[in-house]
Amino acid sequence: MANKSSKVDLKTLSFSESVSHYFDKASKFTGAPQGLLDQIKTCNSIYKMNFPVKWGNEVKVVEAYRVQHSHHRMPTKGGIRYSTFVDQDEVMALAALMTYKCAIVDVPFGGAKGGINISPRQTPPEVLEAVTRRYTAELVKKNFIGPGIDVPAPDYGTGEREMAWILDTYMTLRPGDVDGYGCVTGKPVSQGGVHGRTEATGRGVVYALNEICSHAEDMKALGLTTGLEGKKVVIQGLGNVGYNTATIIREYGAIIIGICENDAAIHNEKGLDPVAVLKYRQETKGIAGYPGAKTIKKSAEGLELQCDILIPAALEKQITDLNANKIKARIIAEAANGPITPAAEEILLAKGIMIVPDIYVNAGGVTVSYFEWLKNLSHVRFGRMEKRFDEQNQRNLIKLVEEMTGKTVTSDKVKKIIHGADEIDLVNSGLEDTMIKSYNDIRQFKKANKGVKDLRTATFAVAINKIRDSYYAMGIFP
Ligand code: GLU
């Protein structure tokens, strides 16, 4: 069901054209002049590279990209993806999403993305290492990486290990750069990483959903009760984002009734334990046949299960005009980037489904990357200076209360009250605050602009307005 009022055929849009489509749809609700909108929308720099890598007795040519979508704030920021689907259009789309994502959560970066067309599962680790190091060297050569230039991070198919290789290569080529640790985020904690970064995207998804589900008026409109407790959830993808979302949302009382993976989907109304499912997947190389659940052979059919919240946490274009009609969830939270196509979105919105867009709901990863970058530039662990001081203050306060009341506070309570913040406490608290504040900015904008019918349009408009303001502040567009 294409949008009749628009001339574009939504079904034929590429990924980057889809992002532009969302941008155009939202831009009429912003106060930005056309010239500025054009500048915000366009991709600033695209670096495509081909380089050789030794693979056993052969040499293979690797195709890789780094796209910096917007330089309105520096450095630019965004992950690096390893997948055989990587092409220029995909990386451009993902880089643009990063610009709006950073703006929506007030992270002072422009958007960027990298991609290497390689299968992380079918490539031996030593080849992956050689490719990662060569890619980093190419970025250094062209001044496309650095703590004040462009800061990569993990994405689909990459993690701490790859980030450590990038850091090591960068430091080798740029010795003496005192802020060099800030050239990449998502590093292991032992290599300048920050506690909580690995699970940050998933944790952010849960904080976002917890806030969304706390608004009684919105939940009533969807026919749902408030709170995450008892909500039936289906998750697609047990990678870093899907797995952490699944384990953390269960702590809030939600029930994972379905999990979709590469090989199949599994279903159990009583609930699935993602820890056990992941262990089973590691042992059997799939989730089909997981004991205590019904196996759905066609993985994509798992998305069609009756549930309250559907969380696609894998790749783009998972819900299209071909399956959108069969989706029965009331809320879809885009933990992945671009899992719903514009044509599918029209169908889902017409069905009254709430779509929580990627540029907001999965922004927890870049938010905590920002904290990691700050840690690297300040060269000190969060909480190091104040933890003991705060604890002593609280201890003094308890002592005073005891003296004034003549009563003794139990040692259990004392322990809880005096606890000074560790790095993880501060990171999670900063993340939760960010997700709550950003959602309320979006929600308020939607309420204040009656023409805005969906959360994605509201989110894009809020992001565009924030970028517009930073251009104005630079005096570029008077
Ligand atoms: N790849 C993640 C994303 O798409 C994280 C980016 C970052 O931390 O820079 O948001």
User: What is the average per-residue pLDDT within 139-155?
Assistant: 98
Six token digits for residue 302: 């798992």
The Å distance, Cα 119 to ligand 1 centre, comes to 19
Q: How confident is the model at residue 153 (pLDDT cuts 50, 70, 90)?
A: very high
Distance CA 391, CA 389 (A): 5
Q: Is residue 394 part of a domain?
A: yes
Could you tell me if residue 6 is inside a domain?
no
Mean pLDDT over 172-185 rounds to: 97
Residue 245's pLDDT is: 98
**2 is a domain residue:** no
Atom of ligand 1 nearest to the CA of 186: 8
pTM (predicted TM-score): 0.96
Distance 153 CA to ligand 1 centre (A): 6
CATH of the domain at 246: 3.40.50.720
CA distances from 184 to 142, 174, 273, 365 (A): 16, 13, 33, 13
Please report whether residue 31 resides in a domain: yes
pLDDT for 2: 40
189 and 321 together in one domain: no
Average pLDDT, the chain: 96
* Domain C-terminal end among 374, 407, 422: 422
Task: Answer yes or no: do 60 and 179 share one domain.
Answer: yes
Q: What is the pLDDT of residue 476?
A: 73
Q: How confident is the model at residue 62 (pLDDT cuts 50, 70, 90)?
A: very high
Is 214 contained in some domain?
yes
CATH number at residue 109: 3.40.50.10860
Q: What percent of the chain has pLDDT over 70?
A: 98
Is residue 324 domain-shared with residue 400, that is, in the same domain? no
> What tens digit of pLDDT does each residue of 404-424 get?
999 999 999 999 999 999 999
pLDDT level of residue 478 (50, 70, 90 thresholds): low
Residues 180, 51 share a domain = yes
Residue 111, domain member (yes or no): yes
Mean pLDDT of 300-308: 98
| 252 and 357 inside one domain | yes
- Give, for ligand 1, the residue of 366, 367, 370 to mutate: max count of ligand atoms closer than 8 Å to Cβ: 366
Q: Choose the final residue of a domain: 312, 329, 361.
A: 361
Looking at the structure, tell me whether residues 161 and 247 fall in a common domain. no
Question: Which atom, in ligand 1's list, is nearest to the CA of 337?
Answer: 4
Same domain, 171 and 59: yes
Same domain, 219 and 188: no
Last residue of a domain, one of 361, 391, 411: 361
Contact 196, 431 (CB under 8 A): yes
Amino acid at 62: V
Q: How many domains does the chain have?
A: 3
What's residue 4's pLDDT? 44
User: pLDDT tens digit string along 246-272?
Assistant: 999 999 999 999 999 999 999 999 999
Residue 156, token pair as written in the block: 């689909």
pLDDT band at 146 (very low <50, low <70, confident <90, very high): very high
pLDDT band at residue 437, thresholds of 50, 70 and 90? very high
pLDDT for res 3? 43
242 in the same domain as 167: no
- Looking at the structure, tell me whether residues 140 and 205 fall in a common domain: no
Q: Residues with Cβ within 6 A of ligand 1?
A: 77-79, 101, 153, 155, 185, 337, 362, 365-366, 369
Same-domain pairing of 63 and 189: yes
pLDDT tens-digit profile of 439-449? 999 999 999 99
* Domain match, 139 and 244 both: no
Ligand 1 atom closest to the CA of 80, numbered from 1: 1
> Does the residue 432 lie in any domain?
no
Instruction: Establish if 86 belongs to a structural domain.
Output: yes
Alpha-carbon distance of 439 to 356, in angstroms, equals: 10
CB neighbours (10 Å) of residue 138? 17
For residue 396, give its domain range: 383-422
Written as six digits, the tokens of 326 are: 């069969």
Instruction: Tell me phi and psi for residue 131, to 5 degrees.
Output: -65, -45
Tell me, what's the pLDDT at 474? 81
Identify whether 270 is a catalytic site residue: no
Q: Which of 201, 375, 434 to mutate to test the pocket of ligand 1 (most atoms within 8 A of CB)?
A: 201
- Please identify which of the residues 113, 231, 387, 446 carries the catalytic annotation: 113
